[in-house]
Amino acid sequence: MTPFFAYGLMAGGAAVASRLCLVSRGLGAGMIVIGAVALAAPAWADERVLAKDNSEVACTVSKSGLTRVSLKDDRFASVSKLTTGVETDDFTVVNEPTRGDI
């Protein structure tokens, strides 16, 4: 839904909810809730990146939160957080060649 529709639904719900009739108030409250839910943005936390053999993969990771990296049909690599003072050097990827796990 577009934000204009959601805001219009919420404004219309506020107008309907201001009436004295209890049914109108319930309908207006429902319109406000539906408009608010329509404005909620989804969380784009899941990122899938396809890679070829021996290629470099770039992705966005959290600076302070949990980051999980897994490779399908291949070995795993671990992502380590470092504090170097330079934002581009804060993370390092360490490969575990013998076990292939994190």
Q: Do residues 1 and 7 touch, judged by C-beta distance below 8 A?
A: no
| Cα distance between residue 13 and residue 6, in whole Å | 10
Tokens of 32: 């406000």
pLDDT at 85: 67
Scanning the structure block, which residue is given the tokens 């429902």? 30
Any idea how long the chain is?
102
**Greater pLDDT, 63 or 80:** 63
pTM: 0.43
For residue 90, pLDDT beyond 90: no
| Cα distance between residue 34 and residue 56, in whole Å | 43
- Domain segments of the chain: what residues? 3-39, 46-102
9-49 residue pLDDT tens? 999 999 999 999 999 999 999 999 999 988 887 766 667 77
| Mean of per-residue pLDDT scores for the chain | 75
pLDDT at 56: 77
Which residues have CB under 8 Å from 81's CB, separation 6+? Answer: 90, 91
